[in-house]
Structure 1
Amino acid sequence: MPGTSAADDGFGSALAVGDLTGDGRDVLAVGAPFKKIGGQELAGAVLVLPGSAAGLSGSGSTRIDQDQTWIPGGAEAQDQFGFALAVGKVDKDRYADLAISAIGENANVYPGDGAITLVRGAAAGVQHSGATVVTGRNAALALHRDGLILNSLRFSLAIGDTNRDGYGEVLTGVPGAQVSDHYSTGGVVSFAGRANGLSTTGIRLLSQNTAGVAGANEDGDRFGADVAAADVTGDGRADLLVGVPGENVGSNADAGTAVLLRGSSSGLAGSGSQVWSQDSRAVPGAAEKGDRFGSEVTLLNLDGRGGRDAVVAAPDEKVGGYPSAAAAGMLVTFTASSTGLAPKAGWTGQNQRYTDFYFDGYGRVLTGG
């Protein structure tokens, strides 16, 4: 594998899988967002490991960083290139594409910071040309809304064809976004899929102020802390599951919720959305202060019956009988149907404990297929 390991690279902080090579085998993209590049601390890099007949292989792997001539921009301190990753088909060729966030790019630039780079897939892994980039500043200016600041654009990433036009949208959660003057209320930005890569043409913002989305923008909601895209309802359009871990439920601060946004002929829409908390009917557990339900979300085919099912984590869930210093954490599964999601089961870190070994923050990291 190219490069050398160093302390605190953060290798493995982000993972994404998909068929970048078009040969029917998945590759694994691995983020190392804290890696020093060209003397720049925390500049970040991504390593792409190909699949083979024998499984995952280091042979033929590719390193991607912003000091390479075919990647827009340059490696700078604190960029954290590789903080989040997503693999999916953005254009209509046979190769999946790789979206890479640099959460610290142009930090504290008004009215938005962070960046997403889209790298095209190719038979050899990734194409060494045609990479495109959008920045938080350009996205915020294109949206042109009063009181909007896209802080740390590209905190979480997904790719999905939300309107069934054959092109995949690049979808990013921006939990630190200021929307309508509410700080860290959060939002989701959709970049339209197209043949020539990323741009702000056709950009859309969805938040709890969007018609049909339950709730309202409030300080600290962090709508978009995690996102996952897949077809839940079986209509051929990708839906988006959004984590909102800072949402207050009743008097319980930061109890958290998860929101399902439906795909439509015009892309993601608030109409038909669902919202779930641990106080929702049939959801295991109860909404409690600081649970942060929705901190991590993923969509998987758990039962093999069509639409993608969901897993939502509450990593700070407290459980009786656990040490007071530890949060057992909780996972809740939801079953997919043509009308959306329905709660199914839940279990905690306490269910997994062995003798005197305790899980702390069970579900703090989830990954999807």
Structure 2
Amino acid sequence: MHSTRRPRLAALGAALAAGALAVSATPSGAVTGPASPSGDTTHAYAAQLIVGDHDRGCSGVLVDAEWLLTAAGCFAADPATSLAVPAGKPQLKTIATIGRSDLTSTSAGAVREVVELQPRTDRDVVLARLSRPVTNVTPITLATAAPTAGEELRFAGYGRSATEWAPLNLHTGAFSVDAADATTATVTGKDGVAACMGDSGGPMVRVSGGTHQLAALSSQSYQGGCYGVDEAVTSTGGIAARVDDLGAWVASKTGATRITDFNCDAAEDIAVGDPKASVNGLSEAGLLKVVYGAGKGSETLHQDLSYVPGESEAGDEFGGELAVVDYDEDGCTDLVVGIPLEDVETTADAGWVTVLYGSPAGLGKGKAALNLQQGTGTGALKERASEAGDRMGAALAAGRTAAGEPYILIGAPGKNLKGYHDAGLAYYLRGSTSVSFHQDSPGIVGVINEGDEFGASVAGSPNHIAVGSPGETVGTSADAGMVAILKHEVNADGVPAPVASVNQDSTGISDASEGGDRFASSLSMVAHRPSGAAAATDSVLAIGTPGETLWVGTNSFPQAGQVTTVRVTAAGAVSELATIHQGTEGVNGASASGDGFGTQVVAVNTAPKAVGTASTMLLAVGVPKKDIGTATDAGFVQTFSLLGAPGDSDHWIEAGNDRGVPGTPGASQLMGNYLNGTGTHLWIGMPHGPADRGAVHGIPWSNAMGGTGGTVITHQPGLNGLPLTGKAFGMAIR
């Protein structure tokens, strides 16, 4: 067809008006070419999308394990007038079927919900994130050269045929490129081929030497010969949206770290705990405040709200432990709240964990909360009863496995086992899996003893999980500490498969176990893609040992603290990367008694799908009891790269220095005691001042790693719409 922009929106609107789909039992040949036989994987990257209750049907293409490219008009409210699509969760539930040339087959490909949209504003293109990665289909690569006049592009789509409203097979054909401009190409179907209703967003592919590259997406068509189109329309021309120049944009979206997004609008949100706050006059009942991104306000959550399980009680300290994960896989981040001091009926400090589900209306405004309590639910949770002092929820980790399945890891370090007080255990929840494990579980090194506190710290990556027992006796050294590293796969013994147990007497680990070290008091773990690997199959674990005594010559500094980083390979090999303290060669500062270096650790991979580098694999270490000048226990945060020598990239963050945290160091501020890291910011909680009710500060990683130009984000009660309530805002951050 001739290139003309005037009929563009009207034509697209007609192409998308699919209506309710009826299916034919016997697909026939289509205008878009022959039906692909069942089992044909030539175009396995192609996808069918059903929007709403069959309101619209479109096609798409897999460009990453969890992302499709398709037409923005598939999701526009009225594509005849505007292709604008808001970022975030689609307005209508959308189901994508990927990798099935025969839609009646279930032997290949996958079916996923589309849970997030990232639109282009300059063309009819949108990225659509899937609820889970598709692991059995190879995504197509994007072309890097524009379509040229006369070039042939192969097309695949699930739209109408010449005789069927909704064929059950993928159809393919060839188009010739007429011309191209900056964002589109005009094309004409060859041998009677045309794109029909439901083909919008389908891939137009450059094939060379058997290699397929995505050059464009079907956008609009005159639909000559398509079912239901006036027979007088014979044009097989159309407009395709170019994608060959979108490689960097696609990579930036598909390779970014997942943000916290409670209301599913693709703007980053944050939840901040204030467990010391009074609620309705009840001291330390606890609350948390949620700040929604894009200026959408805030809300305060506590247990006196109808949609939060339980009720506020003095000393509960609701909001003291937090984790985030899209647990129900609907595209909205869910908030996991640990309440380890919750009394269960008359059982004091038994603890429980509440999952508040995200929704477009905000946290807790959609489906009812999930309460995880011992003696209820299924599996190990139901089998074990709540007992006094269990402190279930004292440590939390949550995330997704490498296959994309959400999990929650819960520490109950006060659990008494076999007559031993505070032996501790951990709960692992994933799908229908609900298991518990401890130091007498098969394959986990160690034995149950008094005060082990197994589960006092937990961490996870897509590949592994880790559980700390800082009270573990190693040899004859009490409270020396140990960490168990496990895989996500539950083995025949009914526990996540153990990989290793690591302490300071382990082969290859520096230093030695000593009484009071409390190795693994803090843990943080991230996925790592080593050089030469196709994916992030390894993990890097940071282990805090705040009780470590350090020696300089003949002088000892008790509880100066240190951090150990280890790499865990896909095969299960564990090796030390570094031992870090303020006496490590090249590291700024000097150790002093009681510093508590490593009280908190935060490991972050800012590019989780890329090969790990010194600039993307980052570590922040809290040193909350460091004296600064005359300010006792003012505290600070020190940052490093997880890769390379610690002294090559360490930086110091204290209140008032050029990293951007406002204020000045003050006595007992304990800066570094409350930390969280995202792909963009290092979050530092300051609940003990200088702000009266506490504050949190988001430091761009560029600042945290030595720069000065990034804008620091500050949230505190009474500022920017946050209510002036609470007492110690910033004791938990997610």
Please report how far the alpha carbon of residue 167 of structure 1 lies from its aligned counterpart in structure 2 after TM superposition. Answer: 4.4
Please report how far the alpha carbon of residue 176 of structure 1 lies from its aligned counterpart in structure 2 after TM superposition. Answer: 0.8
Q: Deviations over 1:300-334 (max 9, x none)?
A: 25677623311001001011139767521111111
Q: Contact between 1:249 and 1:287, CA under 8 Å: does it hold in 2?
A: yes
Distance 1:111 1:44 in 2: 16
Q: 1:336 to 1:177 in 2, by over 3 A?
A: same
In the other structure, the counterpart of 2:395 is 156
Task: Give the letter aligned to residue 488 of structure 2.
Answer: G
1:29 aligns with 2:271: yes
Please say which of residues 112-121 and 97-106 is displaced more in the overlay. 112-121
Distance 1:355 1:266 in 2: 45
The one of 433, 436, 450 aligned to 1:205 = 436
In the other structure, the counterpart of 1:183 is 421
Q: Deviations over 1:14-62 (max 9, x none)?
A: xx9723333444322211111101000010011122344xxxx6x5122
Task: Give the letter aligned to residue 212 of structure 1.
Answer: G
Distance 2:428 2:324 in 1: 15
Q: Contact between 1:223 and 1:243, CA under 8 Å: does it hold in 2?
A: yes
Q: 1:254 to 1:261 in 2, by over 3 A?
A: same
2:422 match: secondary structure: coil
Q: Give 1:59-138 correspondences, 5 Å limit.
A: 60-106=297-343, 109-110=346-347, 113-129=350-366, 130-136=368-374, 138=376
Q: Contact between 1:137 and 1:150, CA under 8 Å: does it hold in 2?
A: no
1:50 aligns with 2:295: no
Task: Give the letter aligned to residue 331 of structure 1.
Answer: V
In the other structure, the counterpart of 2:600 is 365
In the other structure, the counterpart of 1:347 is 580
Distance 1:264 1:110 in 2: 33
Q: Contact between 1:173 and 1:226, CA under 8 Å: does it hold in 2?
A: yes
Task: Give the letter aligned to residue 153 of structure 1.
Answer: M
Distance 1:23 1:87 in 2: 16
Question: TM-score scaled by structure 2?
Answer: 0.42
Distance 1:357 1:38 in 2: 43
In the other structure, the counterpart of 1:275 is 501
In the other structure, the counterpart of 1:11 is none
In the other structure, the counterpart of 1:3 is none
Say which structure, 1 or 2, has more relative contact order (CA 8 Å, 6+ apart): 1
Q: Give 1:213-228 correspondences, 5 Å limit.
A: 213-228=444-459
Distance 1:17 1:185 in 2: 35
In the other structure, the counterpart of 2:564 is 332
Distance 1:244 1:269 in 2: 17
Please say which of residues 267-276 and 248-257 is displaced more in the overlay. 267-276
Distance 2:491 2:289 in 1: 35
Q: Contact between 1:149 and 1:179, CA under 8 Å: does it hold in 2?
A: no
Q: 1:338 to 1:176 in 2, by over 3 A?
A: same
Task: Give the letter aligned to residue 489 of structure 2.
Answer: S
Q: Deviations over 1:239-262 (max 9, x none)?
A: 211111111111211111111121
Distance 1:90 1:266 in 2: 22
Distance 2:389 2:410 in 1: 11
In the other structure, the counterpart of 2:408 is 170
Distance 2:345 2:595 in 1: 33
The one of 498, 515, 523 aligned to 1:297 = 523
Q: Contact between 2:561 and 2:595, CA under 8 Å: does it hold in 1?
A: yes
Please report how far the alpha carbon of residue 110 of structure 1 lies from its aligned counterpart in structure 2 after TM superposition. Answer: 4.5
Distance 1:174 1:77 in 2: 21
Distance 2:291 2:457 in 1: 24
Instruction: Flag structure 1 segments of 5+ consecutive residues without an equivalent.
Output: 1-15, 195-201, 233-238
1:344 match: secondary structure: strand
Distance 2:267 2:529 in 1: 23
1:260 aligns with 2:485: yes
Q: 1:261 to 1:149 in 2, by over 3 A?
A: farther
2:484 match: secondary structure: strand
Distance 1:356 1:223 in 2: 28
Q: Contact between 2:381 and 2:435, CA under 8 Å: does it hold in 1?
A: no
Q: Contact between 2:550 and 2:558, CA under 8 Å: does it hold in 1?
A: no
Q: 1:17 to 1:113 in 2, by over 3 A?
A: farther
Distance 2:351 2:276 in 1: 15
Task: Give the letter aligned to residue 410 of structure 2.
Answer: T
2:382 match: secondary structure: helix
The one of 119, 139, 143 aligned to 2:383 = 143
Question: TM-score scaled by structure 1?
Answer: 0.80
Q: 1:112 to 1:327 in 2, by over 3 A?
A: closer
Q: Contact between 2:399 and 2:408, CA under 8 Å: does it hold in 1?
A: yes
Distance 1:356 1:189 in 2: 37
Instruction: Flag structure 2 segments of 5+ consecutive residues without an equivalent.
Output: 1-257, 605-734
Distance 1:263 1:153 in 2: 21
Count residues with an aligned counterpart. Answer: 334
CA RMSD of aligned residues (A): 3.1
Q: Which has the larger radius of gyration?
A: 2
Q: Contact between 1:18 and 1:27, CA under 8 Å: does it hold in 2?
A: yes
Task: Give the letter aligned to residue 316 of structure 2.
Answer: D
Please report how far the alpha carbon of residue 180 of structure 1 lies from its aligned counterpart in structure 2 after TM superposition. Answer: 2.1
Please report how far the alpha carbon of residue 216 of structure 1 lies from its aligned counterpart in structure 2 after TM superposition. Answer: 1.1
Distance 1:116 1:285 in 2: 36
Please say which of residues 358-367 and 68-77 is displaced more in the overlay. 358-367
Q: Contact between 1:111 and 1:141, CA under 8 Å: does it hold in 2?
A: no
What is the percent sequence identity of the aligned residues?
28
Q: Deviations over 1:96-141 (max 9, x none)?
A: 2110011221169449711211111123542424112133454787
1:188 match: secondary structure: strand
Distance 1:325 1:286 in 2: 16
The one of 8, 19, 23 aligned to 2:261 = 19
Distance 1:299 1:118 in 2: 22
1:292 match: secondary structure: coil
Moved over 6 A (4+): 147-150, 355-359
Q: 1:80 to 1:137 in 2, by over 3 A?
A: farther
